[in-house]
Amino acid sequence: MTAVIYALGVIAFLVGVAISIALHECGHMYPAKKFGVKVTQFFVGFGSTVWSTRRGETEYGLKAIPLGGYVKLVGMLPPGPDDDPHAVRSTNTGLFTQLVTDARQAEYETITTADEPRLFYKLPWYKKVVVMAGGPMVNVVISAFLFAVVIMGFGVEQPTTTVQTVSDCAISDAEAGRACTSEDPPTPASEIGLLPGDEITAFGGTEVESWDELTGLIRANGSDTSTITYVRDGTSSTVPVTTSVIERLAVNDPSKVEDVGFLGVSPEFTYQRQGPLYVGEVMWETTQRTAEAILHLPSRMVDVVKAAFGAERPDDSPISVVGASRVAGELVTVDEPTWAERAQRVLTLLASLNLFLALFNFVPLLPLDGGHIAGALWEGARSRWARLRGKPDPGPVDVAKMLPVAYVVGITLIVMSVILIYADIVNPVRVT
């Protein structure tokens, strides 16, 4: 049964990825068609065609390798310097120049005179930004929607003031996880007889409604004597307690430690639905972490290469869609979760993936969407500058000149993907 559930988790995740890719491409195609651009292809995946159908002038289909997708917008590259879009240079000065020439030739091989008014490069710069940003923004919307479903629909696991466990001895965070010894002092909670299931309602005469409120009062109490009120089997009791002082991680800065009051209990957790503001907070925190991960991706790949050849792989290592699929399978089986918890975990993984796809595509390098957006913004800026100086509009930015960069970036991404997939097979990241 576990194997079946594992497979269902992987399949559900892959279907979610395919839908996310398709919607991303819709984010490009819809505004492009609205602006009159000719769109000839809409495919999910790469490689050989598995299935396709034609609707009007656009061919829709699936490719064999489900690692991305693309929309063919006709006329992405402007004509060459001779202003003849169908002219082909007979000479060149180097490999990159030939690559650009070949790309222009391939771009205009099937373009007819009737297509000329519908070429992408002829759009105003702001419409180009809308078209190219449409894909990543769809991923942002998907991520926000999925986070909202998880947080507002299922709820978020939150600590309560009900006791889950009572520690036998007081151990600092630096030694957490070891067994108690005869030299370790007993915890104040065990000394006053607190038991699992007790609901703490007040500390030092101050009523508490959340675990954070309770821990704040306990930490601030130091080694002083106070009172604690709890409910057991429907009966409320108030007893004196002298908290001990141990070294614990600082709340606002986990890299530091501080001496604080200590009781010796851990809370029960329950799922509690949150509001839109909490969704926004989670989105912002996840965005910050994702942006930082993308920024450090090149250096993190060094650890992945080492892991591919036997070194220990960090738990927060970058992973490919293969690794993410394995994680999805483990998330729906580890700790014997309920079906609701399984759905939460897969949806959260998909939400995080969509946010990563959005931010990664905004990187201002071709062939990523961000590269085209940067080109369009530069086009708008130089057009405005020319207008301010009374000069003629310089026209569209020739993104073809950046194709050598696009090839280098594309090859780099392919190599990174191969390394990640290999590492995910031979030395995968484990949930447990």
44 forms beta bridges with: 62, 69
| Mean predicted confidence (pLDDT) in 81-95 | 50
Q: Is the pLDDT of residue 351 over 80?
A: yes
Q: Please give the structure tokens belonging to residue 223.
A: 């080694």
How far apart CA 368 and CA 370 sit, in angstroms, is 5
**202 three-state secondary structure:** strand
* The Cα angle at residue 67 between residues 57 and 110, in degrees rounded to 5: 30
Q: Are strands 235-242 and 225-232 parallel, antiparallel or unpaired?
A: antiparallel
pLDDT, tens digit, for every residue of 146-180?
A: 999 999 999 998 999 999 999 888 887 767 767 88
pLDDT, tens digit, for every residue of 372-411?
A: 999 999 999 999 999 999 989 888 888 888 888 888 999 9
Average pLDDT, the chain: 88
How far apart CA 215 and CA 209 sit, in angstroms, is 11
Of 266, 279, 299, 112, nearest in space to 195 by CA:
266
User: In CATH, what class is 158-272?
Assistant: mainly beta
Known active-site residue 341: no
| Mean predicted confidence (pLDDT) in 211-215 | 92
How far apart CA 86 and CA 110 sit, in angstroms, is 10
Q: Is the pLDDT of residue 88 over 90?
A: no
Helices (H), 57-201: 95-108, 125-148, 188-191
How far apart CA 66 and CA 76 sit, in angstroms, is 24
Alpha-carbon dihedral 145, 156, 153, 278, rounded to 10 degrees: -50
| Mean predicted confidence (pLDDT) in 300-317 | 87
**213 three-state secondary structure:** helix
How far apart CA 161 and CA 265 sit, in angstroms, is 10
Amino acid of residue 29? M
| Contact between 185 and 244 (Cβ < 8 Å) | yes
Amino acid of residue 143? S
- Give Cβ neighbours of residue 90 (< 8 Å, ≥ 6 apart): none
Q: Is 4 exposed, middle or buried (0-12, 13-18, 19+ CB in 10 A)?
A: exposed
Of 30, 35, 42, 57, nearest in space to 117 by CA:
35
> How far is CA 63 from each of CA 304, 322, 331, 347, rounded to the nearest angstrom?
28, 17, 28, 25
Q: Which pLDDT score, from 0 to 100, does residue 83 have?
A: 45
- Give Cβ neighbours of residue 191 (< 8 Å, ≥ 6 apart): 241
Of 57, 56, 63, 54, nearest in space to 22 by CA:
63
Q: Which pLDDT score, from 0 to 100, does residue 246 have?
A: 86
Q: What percent of the chain has pLDDT over 90?
A: 61
How far apart CA 361 and CA 370 sit, in angstroms, is 6
Looking at per-residue confidence, does 147 or 256 come out higher?
147
| Helix 125-148 vs helix 276-295: crossing angle, to nearest 10 | 120
| Contact between 242 and 188 (Cβ < 8 Å) | yes
| Mean predicted confidence (pLDDT) in 279-299 | 94
Amino acid of residue 181? T
Q: Where are the domains of the chain?
A: 2-148+353-426, 158-272
| Contact between 10 and 122 (Cβ < 8 Å) | no
How far apart CA 227 and CA 212 sit, in angstroms, is 18
Q: What percent of the chain has pLDDT over 70?
A: 94
Q: Tell me the helix, strand and coil percentages in the chain, rounded to 5.
A: 50, 20, 30
How far apart CA 66 and CA 57 sit, in angstroms, is 24
| Contact between 131 and 373 (Cβ < 8 Å) | no
Q: Which pLDDT score, from 0 to 100, does residue 248 have?
A: 81
DSSP 77: S
> Which one from 25, 107, 330, 379 is the annotated catalytic residue?
25
pLDDT, tens digit, for every residue of 9-55?
A: 999 999 999 999 999 999 999 999 999 999 999 999 888 899 999 99
pLDDT, tens digit, for every residue of 329-346?
A: 999 998 888 899 999 999
Q: Which pLDDT score, from 0 to 100, does residue 96 have?
A: 59
How far apart CA 24 and CA 359 sit, in angstroms, is 13
